[in-house]
Amino acid sequence: MSSLLSTPNSGMHPIGEISRRTKVRDRRWVDAAFRWFCVATALLSVLILVVLLVSILIQGYARLSWHFLQHYPEPEPRWAGIGPALWGTVWVCCVCGLFALPIGVATAIFLEEFPPQRWWTRKLHNFIQLNISNLAGVPSVVYGILGLTLFVSLAHLAGTPNQPAWEIGVRYYDQFWSLGDRAILVPITDPNAPPTLAQAGMQAQDYDGHPVAVTIVPSRREAADSPEMLQYTLIEGRVAGRITKSSWYHLRLPLGRSVLAAALTLMLVILPIVIIASQEALRGVPSSLREAGLGVGATPWQVVRHVTLPAAIPGIMTGSILAMSRAIGEAAPILIMAGAVFISTSPSSLVDEVTVMPLQIYDWASRPQAEFHELAATGILVLLAVLLLFNSLAVYIRQRTQKPLT
Amino acid sequence: MSTVEIKNPPPIVTVPTRGDVDDEQHVGNTALRLHGFNAWYGTYQALHDVNLKIPEKQVTSLIGPSGCGKSTLLRWMNRMNDIVPGARAEGQLDLLDLDVLSKMTDVVALRRRIGIVFQKPNPFPKSIYENVAFGPRLHFKIRSSDLDQLVEWSLRKAALWDEVKNRLHDSALSLSGGQQQRLCIARAIAVGPDVLLMDEPCSALDPGSTARIEDLIFELKEQYTIVIVTHNMQQAARCSNRTAFFFEGHLVEEGSTKQVFTTPREKQTEDYVTGKFG
């Protein structure tokens, strides 16, 4: 060092002295080391994923079949399938997307495209923004509890999950078994009425809804012997069982442990993600485009409809893909609100009971037998396949709509 | 015209004025009238008590150093500053008989009558045709054959038709910067405005494109009242009839371009147009 400091005023740059202690070799070494470190970390994450996938593939591949995709989860592992959970996931995720995407994108448009003008709208903006940021960090179990209270039982304000306060698209019947082993139905107007007793003059019909004349006899012995007569003969005073026939538009309040309740709960989980991603996408649209729209006399709505939203669609799609992937894999909130119940049929209306694949996998994985663990692995394969299918569809749409902006 | 001998004639004067109006008398009707106009951004006052008449079917240029409020004034003329948080204005700003600043004014209709062209070309990421057709579709119920004609008329008016007539449905972003800016002008005139505002329309362009836009401005003034904000004093001298000089939010001087550049009344104006500051 003394050699440098000894000639501070010589007017020469002391490069000759300094250049002996060059950093070129250190620099190259550090650069190369850092690059290899990055490669190693990247490979590590990929490696973990590959190990995971391979082990699941080995475990679960053997049980993968059409039968597995279609069949219901029988207690016997050889015949068990994932059908109801697969369709449950498809139903729940589609309905969830139908609610979450419009609401989320609309909220983002409100927050980004309509800047607050007055003090109270500014307060409202800040309040909503703060809440969305907070909601994004809330654990999904909490949303499960909220969904259980709000959607499943409507906060106990009206009706119960079993006795809805309001209902359409469903008809109630009391069902008798005739002496000739045939179902005889009696339509019921009040689902809470006590079960009907077999008596003369009932408005009876067969299972397809055609009215039938029913003979009521005091006892078995008094009935006619012909098999045709027996088919429409009931013993007086017999108690019926209550059944329902629901159409595809069946709806009720409270929603109960249904597709709609599960979808709305998942909507709460993914809404913050959708909103924040859409906001980012809208923020990425150059303000010069907005000014161009306003400058030729477009209303704010027309600017959103024709300029901002088309330009932001790719970003919104990316965020929505992430959000929907989360919704597909989410088990906790649905476990809270629907429970791991045995469901043997796929949903056929929005208020049918539902189970989803993560729940089914959880159910199988928590059993002691090895066969069920294999079923769980197969279930995971199906779940991943559905996830990839949804994602590639969304990526395809994104590619189709993507255009350069400036 | 009286010739005034000036010492140290500013270099700018050697550029011949393209303005065919070189006298003070021929001003014509007033298109835009500002009276006691003040504008703020939050608590910062950007413009102080501006009184200015902008004549019809002439080019008026607003000049002055950065931050002098000329762009602010331009953006208030068609209420583009509405979307700027904290921006407000007081005073009188009239377009012919219309009170521009009134809350009752239909901003959308106002912007149809007062078009604007921005500093950076900002075509929509749509086709050339769609860019020009965008405005008319918003305002008029128009048949597609009429729309075709209108698009052609606008593109011809903006001196772009010959370059793009064979690729109307290509992306507007495939055009060069100068072509894009002329497309923006075509888009602005397609809705049939009375006034065209131009906020430094050439500052992002090369000299060749700038010259084409200037020629265009000169032709467009036959039909439109043009207000142009520019940092380029040669440009102001070349293509404007009247010039207003702003400094620190005040209108210092306004007059015919020739007068402002050759015989400025105020010392500040002279210093600015001769390049002593700014």
B176: closest chain A residue by CA: A406
pLDDT at residue A173 is higher than 60: yes
With CA atoms as reference, the chain B residue closest to A112 would be B83
Locate tokens 């009558």: which residue?
B113
Are residues A93 and A324 in contact, defined by beta-carbon separation less than 8 angstroms? yes
- Which single residue is written with the structure tokens 């106002």? B110
Q: Least CB-CB distance to A296: which of B83, B109, B115?
A: B115
**pLDDT at position A1, please?**
46
Contact B74, B199 (CB under 8 A): yes
In whole angstroms, give the CA distance from residue B214 to residue B241. Answer: 13
Nearest to B60 by CA among B184, B245, B269, B213: B245
Of A14-23, A305-314, B36-45, B194-203, minimum mean pLDDT range: A14-23
Q: For A98-107, A142-151, A394-403, B101-110, which range has the lowest pLDDT when averaged over its residues?
A: A394-403
Nearest residue in chain A measured CA to CA from B87: A117
| pLDDT of res. B73 | 93
pLDDT of residue A78: 86
Q: What are the pLDDT digits (tens) for A356-367? A: 999 999 999 999
Question: Distance from B125 to chain A by nearest Cα, in Å?
Answer: 5
Q: Max CA-CA distance within chain B?
A: 61
| pLDDT value for B14 | 37
Residues in chain B closer than 8 A to A406 (CB atoms): 122, 125, 173
Given a cut of 50, the residues of chain B with pLDDT beneath it are 1-25
pTM of the model: 0.80
In terms of DSSP H, where are the helices of B84-229?
A: 107-113, 128-139, 144-157, 161-164, 177-189, 207-220
The torsion angles phi and psi of B33, rounded to 5 degrees, stand at: -125, 125
CB neighbour list of residue B191: distance below 8 Å, 6 or more residues apart: A296, A297, B112, B115, B135, B136, B138, B139
How would you classify residue A398: left for phi > 0, otherwise alpha for psi between -120 and 50, otherwise beta?
A: alpha
Contact B118, A288 (CB under 8 A): yes
List the structure tokens of A95. Answer: 């309905």
Of all residues in chain A, the one with the smallest CA distance to B138 is A298
The reported pLDDT for the residue numbered B8 is 42
Which residue type sits at B124?
F
Residue A327 pLDDT > 80: yes
Give the angle subtended at the CA of A258 by the CAs of A256 and A259, to the nearest 5°.
150
Kindly list the residues from chain B whose CB atom is less than 8 angstroms away from the CB atom of residue A298. Answer: 108, 134-135, 138
Residues of B in contact with A292 (CB under 8 A): 118, 122-124, 184, 187
pLDDT in tens, A198-235: 777 778 888 787 888 888 888 877 777 777 788 888 88
What is the pLDDT, as a whole number, of residue A290? Answer: 92
What string of DSSP letters covers A215-272? EEESSGGGS-S-HHHHHTEEETTPBPEEEEEEEEEEEEES--SBHHHHHHHHHHHHHH
Smallest Cβ–Cβ distance between A295 and the set B85, B111, B120 belongs to: B111
Structure token pair of residue B54: 């902008």
pLDDT at B10: 36
d(CA A205, CA A345): 26
DSSP 8-class letter at A307: I
More confident residue, A163 or B107: B107
ipTM of predicted assembly, 2 dp: 0.83
Strand boundaries in chain B, DSSP class E: 30-41, 44-55, 59-63, 87-95, 98-99, 114-117, 195-199, 225-229, 242-247, 250-256
Nearest-angstrom CA–CA distance, A255 and A249: 13
Parallel/antiparallel/unpaired status of strands B44-55 and B30-41? antiparallel
Q: Dihedral of CA B159/B165/B171/B177: which sign?
A: negative
Question: Rounded to whole angstroms, what are the CA distances from A192 to A159, A174, A257, A353?
Answer: 11, 12, 20, 20
Q: Is the pLDDT of residue A302 over 70?
A: yes
Q: Which residues pair with B162 in a beta bridge?
A: none
Subunit contact A115:B85, Cβ cutoff 8 A = yes
Alpha carbon distance B26, A202 (integer Å):
101
Cβ of residue B227 closer than 8 Å to a chain A Cβ = no
Between CA B195 and CA A256 the distance in angstroms is 62
Is there a contact between B195 and B225 (Cβ–Cβ < 8 Å)? yes
Closest among A113, A283, A285, A295 to B118, alpha carbons compared: A295
Percent of chain A's residues with pLDDT above 70:
94
User: Would you state the pLDDT for residue A8?
Assistant: 60
DSSP-assigned beta bridge partners for residue B88: B40
Q: Tokens standing for A28?
A: 């190259």
Residue A26: pLDDT band (50, 70, 90) is: confident
B109 touches chain A (CB under 8 A): yes
H-helix or E-strand spanning residue A348: none
DSSP A18-76: HGGG--HHHHHHHHHHHHHHHHHHHHHHHHHHHHHHHHHHHHHGGG-SHHHHHS---SS
Q: Where are the alpha helices (DSSP H) in A61-164?
A: 66-70, 83-113, 119-135, 140-147
Residue numbers in A near B173 (CB within 8 A): 404, 406
Q: Given this model, what pLDDT does residue A270 score?
A: 94
The one-character DSSP state at A195 is: P
